[in-house]
């Protein structure tokens, strides 16, 4: 289970130990002096590690090997898959499941010609499933003058408030709510319960997210909380790291999504490092999928972890896949929800957003 840290103590600990083994990991040593485990950051608030977790070093090395093999597979077979990702397999190291590659292919692709391994990493080849954007809400979430994540925006759901390096606040949601594949969404008006709340000021059409800048002429503000079921609102403290995504997919930790149509539903992280999408959208290797029920209208809403120190963002709800792709709230039988990873949005190479604001 994750360990909790104070605001300053963990950062000091990292610096003293020179803790960047792998990516932000600290080795532990057995009685023979050989490194057997390492500590990975799980949840971040700004640059502060809020939670960490000890994992077997061989397991961590295997996940890095799998990530490299995923990139190799993408290069070799880029015209042969609908979607590509990392997903846990049955084999394990010290009780923790290894990561393998999952390749979704259309019926016209000859599966016999595809490999069962790349660089020693197993590939699971499965039939492609329809990916559809989550739009067309069944109902809204009411009018809120202090608008949290989970409130209605356009025909979908708000994710959460973020802040850029200049101190400007934005409300995150999905770009496809603004028909971003058809036209540049920059400057598009954004509404909540029929009221203008601002305009699209930041966006990435391919990664399916926008940042709405508040209209100073209205009375609706963005706050730093999200709905967390039963009308409760909880503070957004930060985001889950990529290492957390991999670790929690292996150990099947419970995570959540919230949407205007289906509210709060739970599941686990099923796929990470997802390539693929719909229309002009491609998760570009930064996607994450949850096995949580969803329906039309949940688009743009928060995918998140609920921990002792607060809510940590996983991603922005973008699409769904499953056997029934209907939009009726009482029948949300799409069992997988996917979106762009919050950890990438928080990185300087992504958007550089701060999730604890």
Query: Each residue's pLDDT tens digit in the chain (357 positions)?
Result: 565 444 333 333 333 333 333 344 555 544 454 569 999 999 999 999 999 999 999 999 999 999 999 999 999 998 889 999 999 999 999 999 999 999 999 877 778 789 999 999 999 999 887 776 765 555 445 788 999 999 999 989 999 999 999 999 999 999 999 999 999 999 999 999 889 999 999 999 999 999 999 999 889 999 999 998 777 899 999 999 999 999 999 999 999 999 988 889 999 999 999 999 999 999 999 999 999 888 888 999 999 999 999 999 999 999 988 655 555 555 555 578 999 999 999 998 889 999 987
pLDDT given at position 109: 78
pLDDT given at position 231: 72
SS3 state of residue 177: helix
Rounded to 10 degrees, the C-alpha dihedral 279/281/284/289 comes to -100
Q: Between β-strands 35-45 and 26-29, what pairing exists: parallel, antiparallel or unpaired?
A: antiparallel
Residue 242, Cβ neighbours under 10 Å: how many? 22
For residue 209, give the nearest of 348, 334, 81, 338 by alpha carbon: 338
SS3 state of residue 175: helix
The Cβ-side half-sphere exposure at 261, using a 13 Å CA radius, reads 26
| Sole residue written with tokens 């099947």 | 252
List Cα–Cα distances, 10 to 45, 47, 140, in angstroms: 12, 11, 41
Domains and CATH numbers, the chain: 3-55 (no CATH), 58-127 (3.30.300)
φ, ψ (nearest 5 deg) of residue 251: -95, 0
Q: Beta partners for 207? A: none
Q: Between β-strands 221-227 and 146-149, what pairing exists: parallel, antiparallel or unpaired?
A: parallel
SS3 state of residue 210: strand
Report the alpha-carbon distance of residue 168 to residue 85 in Å, rounded: 34
For residue 132, give the nearest of 340, 337, 341, 316 by alpha carbon: 337
């Amino acid at each position: 289970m994750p360990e909790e840290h104070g605001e300053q103590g963990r950062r000091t600990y990292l610096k003293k130990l020179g803790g960047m083994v792998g990516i932000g990991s600290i080795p532990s040593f057995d009685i023979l002096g050989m490194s057997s485990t390492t500590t990975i950051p799980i949840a971040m608030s700004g640059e502060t590690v809020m939670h960490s977790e000890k994992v077997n070093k061989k397991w961590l090395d295997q996940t890095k090997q799998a990530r490299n093999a995923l990139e190799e597979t993408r290069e070799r077979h880029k015209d042969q898959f609908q979607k590509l990702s990392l997903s846990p397999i049955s084999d394990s190291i010290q009780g923790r499941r290894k990561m393998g590659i999952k390749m979704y292919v259309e019926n016209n692709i000859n599966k016999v010609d595809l490999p069962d391994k790349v660089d020693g990493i197993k590939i699971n080849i499965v039939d492609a499933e329809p990916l559809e954007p989550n739009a067309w809400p069944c109902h809204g979430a009411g009018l809120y003058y202090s608008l949290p994540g989970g409130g209605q925006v356009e025909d979908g759901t708000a994710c959460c408030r973020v802040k850029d390096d200049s101190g400007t606040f934005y409300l995150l949601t999905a770009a496809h709510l603004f028909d971003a594949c058809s036209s540049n969404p920059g400057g598009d008006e954004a509404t909540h319960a029929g009221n203008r709340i601002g305009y699209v000021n930041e966006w990435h059409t391919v990664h399916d997210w926008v940042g709405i800048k508040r209209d100073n002429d209205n009375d609706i503000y963005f706050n730093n909380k999200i709905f967390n079921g039963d009308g409760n609102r909880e503070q957004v403290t930060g985001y889950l790291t990529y290492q957390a995504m991999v670790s929690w997919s292996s150990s099947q930790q419970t995570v959540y999504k919230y949407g205007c149509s289906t509210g709060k539903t739970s599941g686990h992280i099923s796929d990470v490092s997802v390539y693929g999408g719909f229309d002009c959208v491609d998760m570009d290797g930064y996607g994450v999928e949850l096995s949580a029920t969803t329906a039309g209208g949940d688009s743009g809403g928060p995918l998140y972890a609920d921990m002792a120190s607060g809510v940590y963002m996983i991603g922005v709800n973008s699409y769904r896949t499953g056997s029934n792709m209907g939009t009726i709230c009482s029948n949300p039988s799409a069992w997988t929800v996917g979106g762009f990873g919050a950890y990438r949005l928080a990185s300087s190479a992504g958007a550089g957003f701060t999730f604890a604001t």
